[in-house]
């Protein structure tokens, strides 16, 4: 693992990464890494272990072409080709989703307001994202931050009675609850609704690697299956407020050439509109497919 600084012995056996915590609740920076170099299996394992432990990882100062980003991401799982949101892909690279406010084809970008409420990626699909990686190519001089919260801690800090209640629930996800979707092209959003009908997923999920239970409820959940919206809404609001308490959040201030990896099974995130929309912000995202989950509901 010559391309990753380690704290282990020089042979690379049992090597740990040079990790610096980003927040008490979640997040770590991996220092002195060059992700364009070929990663051997032990480096991939070490990153995966640090990722499972910290939920989000930051690599600064990376110069990654779309192909290099795809190659790196593909070492960690099966890449999503973003068929659930086909209008937002980087041309020629379906494995990359553009999150940008640059003009596209002379029109305002459809992803200029992506991620503006607390969510886990692709929760409105039958294969909710296992993980996402976001690479910053351009950022406004001030703001454009992203916040992340720890859904394992969110679950663990509920009372035992509330844990038992949410253990038995399924949240119904609705792409129409994506903040800002109504500001986008109505024909395209109608197509997105057609591709992604409301789908129910367990409100608590067990992480396949760590075995930890994590809350899986977000601001894109309309109700709990079998309950009315009126009955569900106060509980969804409470759970989201509980999960996103400041002490359970890490706020990332982007630098150009940052790559942030997050686990969508153990975190939620929100992209803040805390910047001048005339200042370009341009990010490339790759997404790792999660396990098939959930069932489509009538509403």
Ligand X SMILES: O=C(O)CCC(=O)C(=O)O
Residues forming the active site:
119, 121, 269, 285
Range in contact with ligand X (rule: CB under 6 A) among 67-75, 113-121, 160-168, 205-213: 113-121
Rg (CA), the chain: 19
Pairing of strands 199-202, 170-173: antiparallel
Residue of 114, 123, 244, 266 that binds ligand X (CB under 6 A): 114
**273 and 116 Cβ atoms separated by less than 8 Å:** yes
Q: Does 258 bind ligand X (CB under 6 A)?
A: no
Range in contact with ligand X (rule: CB under 6 A) among 14-22, 102-110, 114-122, 207-215: 114-122
Applying the rule CB under 6 A, the residues between 166 and 185 that interact with ligand X are none
Applying the rule CB under 5 A, the residues between 104 and 133 that interact with Fe ion are 115, 121
Nearer to ligand X, 68 or 147 (CB): 147
Q: Does 121 bind ligand X (CB under 6 A)?
A: yes
Nearer to ligand X, 74 or 168 (CB): 74
Dihedral, CA atoms, 118, 215, 221, 98, nearest 10 degrees? 40
Nearer to Fe ion, 6 or 264 (CB): 264
Q: What are phi and psi of 164, to 5 degrees?
A: -65, -35
Q: Does 285 bind ligand X (CB under 6 A)?
A: yes
Q: What are phi and psi of 31, to 5 degrees?
A: -85, 160
% helix / strand / coil in the chain, to the nearest 5?
A: 25, 25, 50
Q: How far apart are CA 291 and CA 130, in angstroms?
A: 8
Q: Does 109 bind ligand X (CB under 6 A)?
A: no
- Tokens describing residue 240: 């989201």
Q: Does 283 bind ligand X (CB under 6 A)?
A: yes
The three-state secondary structure class of 16 is coil
Nearer to ligand X, 43 or 179 (CB): 179
Location of structure tokens 């106060």: 234
**221 and 172 Cβ atoms separated by less than 8 Å:** yes
Question: What character string, x for contact with ligand X (CB under 6 A) and - otherwise, covers 126-165?
Answer: ------x-x-----------x-------------------
Q: How far apart are CA 187 and CA 246, in angstroms?
A: 38
Q: Does 115 bind ligand X (CB under 6 A)?
A: yes
Q: Does 271 bind ligand X (CB under 6 A)?
A: yes
Nearer to Fe ion, 54 or 132 (CB): 132
Q: Does 84 bind ligand X (CB under 6 A)?
A: no
- Tokens describing residue 253: 């201030």
Q: How far apart are CA 269 and CA 214, in angstroms?
A: 14
Q: Which residues bind ligand X (CB under 6 A)?
A: 99, 114-115, 121, 132, 134, 146, 269, 271, 283, 285
Q: Which residues bind Fe ion (CB under 5 A)?
A: 115, 121
């Amino acid at each position: 693992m010559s391309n990753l600084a380690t704290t282990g012995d020089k042979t690379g056996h049992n090597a740990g990464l040079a990790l610096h915590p980003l927040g008490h609740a979640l997040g770590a920076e991996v220092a002195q890494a060059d992700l364009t170099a070929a990663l051997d299996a032990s480096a991939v394992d070490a990153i995966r272990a640090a990722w499972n432990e910290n939920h989000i990882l930051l690599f600064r100062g990376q110069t990654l072409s779309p192909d290099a980003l795809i190659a790196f991401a593909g070492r960690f799982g099966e890449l999503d080709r973003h068929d659930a949101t086909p209008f937002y892909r980087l041309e020629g690279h379906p494995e990359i989703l553009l999150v940008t406010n640059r003009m596209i084809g002379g029109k305002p970008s459809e992803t200029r307001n992506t991620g503006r409420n607390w969510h886990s990626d692709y929760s409105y699909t039958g294969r909710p994202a296992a993980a996402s990686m976001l690479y910053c190519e351009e950022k406004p001089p001030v703001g454009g931050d992203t916040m992340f919260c720890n859904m394992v801690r969110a679950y663990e800090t509920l009372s035992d009675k509330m844990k038992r209640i949410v253990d038995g629930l399924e949240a119904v996800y609705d792409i129409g609850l994506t903040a800002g979707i109504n500001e986008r092209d109505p024909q395209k959003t109608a197509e997105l609704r057609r591709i992604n009908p409301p789908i129910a997923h367990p409100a608590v999920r067990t992480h396949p690697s760590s075995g930890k239970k994590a809350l899986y409820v977000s601001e894109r959940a309309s109700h709990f299956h079998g309950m009315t919206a009126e009955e569900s809404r106060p509980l969804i609001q409470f759970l989201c407020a509980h999960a996103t308490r400041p002490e359970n959040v890490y706020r990332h201030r982007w630098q150009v050439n940052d790559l942030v990896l997050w686990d969508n099974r153990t975190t939620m995130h929100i992209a803040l509109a805390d910047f001048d929309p005339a200042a370009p912000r341009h990010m490339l995202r790759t997404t790792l497919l999660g396990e098939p989950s959930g069932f489509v509901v009538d509403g």
